[in-house]
Chain A
């Protein structure tokens, strides 16, 4: 068994600061769900470095992320969200460069 990051959607949804998505060293690992306004972890990519925990505790001061064992993940959060992952497109503008 190994540790992965787990974000409390209740605390995160109230603030939605998105700092952890910017500070995670792994790509495509902490994603942001715009409907629920919360960040969530794609647990199969998480290496368990706990950098997001430090960022959430000390920079954002929200204390929403905890390291938990992989087999103790809340069921719906582990499976539902990573399977139905959706990317937001409306915010992305066409790049003005090279046109």
Chain B
């Protein structure tokens, strides 16, 4: 939960694995790193057992790089592919039971706000489409209704990838999967609009096709969640096993899907825009705020 916990006891450094020593000496803790500097510093994500070429891994990797303060962040997850990689990162990871991720995160955030009133401690929920839109749906919606101040990131692979290919609420209509041989009969749940209606201050729909954009979205969402209100990011992270995408075509598929049905969408509430402009120096929102007030006059 802070850099002091990561550092090893003086005199014991030589007994730590090289990866760990690299992380302390060359890691992103306490520094400002960006996606364009990747490859020149040690990342907080380590080797993990996820499939080769998985787009979800790419998204998790980018979002861990983009966290504004990884040393002051706790990630809450649940069963699903995502936790295989998230649990291998040097960020505290809480393994919530299926369905209660957002309830756990609510309590965690409230506790941290009481314990550290003078510091920002970020809580990020990162779970799959099944864990959030199907099984965890009621907890998810209620955490938004209560305006709990944390970020929810959905890793939307449009299938239950870990259990053999059952359809989820986020699967597209008509998709034929191993465990859904007749094709899905219902429309994909429109989570971004639900999030907006439920009172999220920031909602974004991204594809890991554009690392800089992913970074910007994660940064904004975490910062807004500190003081303004709940934030939600939905990312298309294709399952190349269940949808039979060759690993070297994963980015091509992401590009096609982005053009087809996953266009970049971003909603920021006026309060959040003002907060970003005043506290974190986002110039684009400062200008817009002035323009809208001028137009109102």
Contacts and interface: CB of A to CB of B under 8 A. Distances in A.
Interface of A: 18, 21-28, 30-32, 34, 39, 45, 47-51, 53-55, 58-59, 87-89, 91-98
Contacts, number: 107
- Most interface-central of A24, A39, A49, A96 (chain B CB within 10 A): A49
Interface of B: 22, 25-26, 28, 30-33, 35-43, 45-48, 50, 52-55, 57-58, 61-62, 68-69, 72, 119-120, 211, 247-252
Contacts of B35: 22
B47 A88 contact: no
A78 to B, nearest CB: 18
Contacts of A94: 30-32
A98 to B, nearest CB: 6
B72 A48 contact: no
B85 to A, nearest CB: 9
Given A48-B52, A97-B68, A25 B41 contact: no
B38 A87 contact: no
B39 A18 contact: yes
Q: Give the top 8 A-B pairs by smallest Cβ distance, nearest first.
A: A49-B53, A32-B39, A50-B248, A21-B39, A87-B26, A47-B52, A27-B45, A49-B247
Nearest to A88: B40
A26 B120 contact: no
Contacts of A39: 39
A21 to B, nearest CB: 4
A26 B47 contact: yes
B69 A25 contact: no
A24 B60 CA distance: 11
A91 B40 contact: yes
Contacts of A45: 47
Nearest to B30: A95
Given A23-B251, A27-B61, A87 B42 contact: yes
19 contacts: A21-B39, A22-B35, A25-B52, A27-B46, A27-B48, A28-B43, A34-B40, A51-B58, A51-B250, A51-B251, A54-B251, A87-B22, A87-B25, A92-B33, A93-B31, A94-B31, A97-B68, A98-B69, A98-B120
Contacts of B30: 94-95
Contacts of A30: 39
